[in-house]
Amino acid sequence: MRWRRKSPACEADAVRLWPRSLAGQMAVLIALALFVAQAVNFGLALRERAAFRLAQATRPVAIRIADAMEREAQGGRPIPRDHGRIRRADRNDIPTGLPRLPELASELRDQLREQGVEVGRIDTGVRNWTAMDDAVLGRSIARASRTRRDGDRPEQALLIAIERPRSGWLAVIVPWGDSGGMHLFWRLFAQTLILYGVVLLPVLWIARRISRPLRELTAAAQRFGRGGSETPVAVEEHGPADIVGLVRSFNALQLRVTAMLDEKDRMLGAIGHDLRTPLAALRVRIESVEDDTDRTRMADTIAEMNRTLDDILSLARMGRPSEPLTEVDLAALVDAVVEDFRDLGQDVAFEEAERLRMRLRPSLIRRAIRNLIENAVKYGDGAEVRLVAETTMVRIEVADRGPGIPEERLGDVFEAFTRLETSRNRDTGGIGLGLALARTIVREAGGDVRLANRDGGGLCATIELPR
């Protein structure tokens, strides 16, 4: 037998239906447990009800049959043929098309055996109750039927045919109905609702009380992970003891990590100062070089070292941005970056876009866009820039017609100091920090950078930012 694997769409639907919160998961699990328990209880109650119903239907019949047969054997009133609950018959007159109840026949045989009556075959049948049944049951039964309202009349009649050895058959008719089945269902249904109210409401309250400090801890961890504040905000310690211990450990971790980041920033500042000072001194000294070619090469080397130092320090400082979030027009920001390249004579085109107000760190986003355009200009001799605004995100697309990137290397180029061009020439390959820095900046803003080869050649680098 072959089993079919669930489709990804079905698995995704199942994941979406399952609640993510602790309170929701606890409520669903407890609700399922209560439902299973009530279902088992309902099944046992129905089984007990069925057994009681069989005994209730067969015991009076067995007693009446035993009494009637005993009176007849002692010379008393014989069993009639035309009326009464128990009638004499020459054969089994139950129609073949009626539903049978073999379990009732077996129970009735046991009840008759307890009364000391041995019988042959027993047949049963169930049909709707008719007015003829009142007449067949006799005067007393008919008078009782007339005093009852129509709604109180039996819904069905149970027909029983009992074979007496060498004495023909006995025909028995008794009322047959639901016997409280629906009442039992609604009673258990109301009991289930009461259990849900008594159990689930306190559980939801307890689960929300437990999950509230966890939600606060999650929000604090997200804020700290984004580096949104220079000074970490301690999370309030409340809730159960294990949750309080977790929050206390997180607060202590925030302080230790913040101290380490502060020390890192001081170290990077000192490194930057210590390296820029000799570079500035070298820049002054090369002015005394008489050969113009050598002086130009030295100046270019020093400028390249300064740019490399800036990129390395910028990448190392990411995660602790000093620039605050500012509401800016993203379309105007992209257009300004494009204009800078146009002023340098580069072939960069920008498709005009409507104003788009967003809260960003403008200097960092400008640097990320500039890095992508620099790559497009360097490897594709030009760039086409588009700004696409969607409902939940904004895309900044930078496309070129250069050689592109092999599909298997699209993820590698985001690693720091990774270059596809094997030479160490800055003009042909850089130092491998541009894309790494751009992706770090965009991810710090909550977005991402994606690369894709274009049809017909070239590369499209896309910055995705959440709105």
Q: What is the pLDDT of residues 215-270, one digit of tens each?
A: 888 888 887 766 655 567 788 888 778 888 888 998 898 888 888 877 777 777 77
| Residue 374 to residue 395: CA distance in whole angstroms | 18
Q: Which of 126, 250, 137, 116 is nearest to 178 (CA)?
A: 126
Tens digits of per-residue pLDDT, 82-121?
Answer: 777 788 887 888 888 888 888 888 888 888 888 888 888 8
Q: Where are the domains of the chain?
A: 11-225, 227-322, 324-466
| Residue 409 to residue 350: CA distance in whole angstroms | 28
Average pLDDT over residues 417-442: 67
Q: Which residue has the higher pLDDT, 42 or 22?
A: 42
Tens digits of per-residue pLDDT, 128-164?
Answer: 877 666 666 654 444 444 444 444 566 788 888 888 8
Domain 324-466 of CATH type 3.30.565.10? yes
List the Cα angle 216/219/221 in 5-degree steps. Answer: 110
Of the ranges 53-62, 155-164, 362-371, the best mean pLDDT one: 362-371
List the structure tokens of 401: 């017609």
**Burial of 176 from C-beta contacts in 10 A (0-12 / 13-18 / 19+):** buried
Tell me how crowded residue 372 is: count the other CB atoms within 10 A of its CB: 28
**Max intra-chain CA distance, the chain:** 152
pTM, two decimal places = 0.48
Spatial CB neighbours of 284, under 8 Å, sequence gap ≥ 6:
none
The answer to which of 5-19, 192-206, 308-322 has the lowest mean pLDDT is: 5-19
Q: Which residue has the higher pLDDT, 50 or 180?
A: 50
pLDDT confidence bin for 464, thresholds 50/70/90: very high
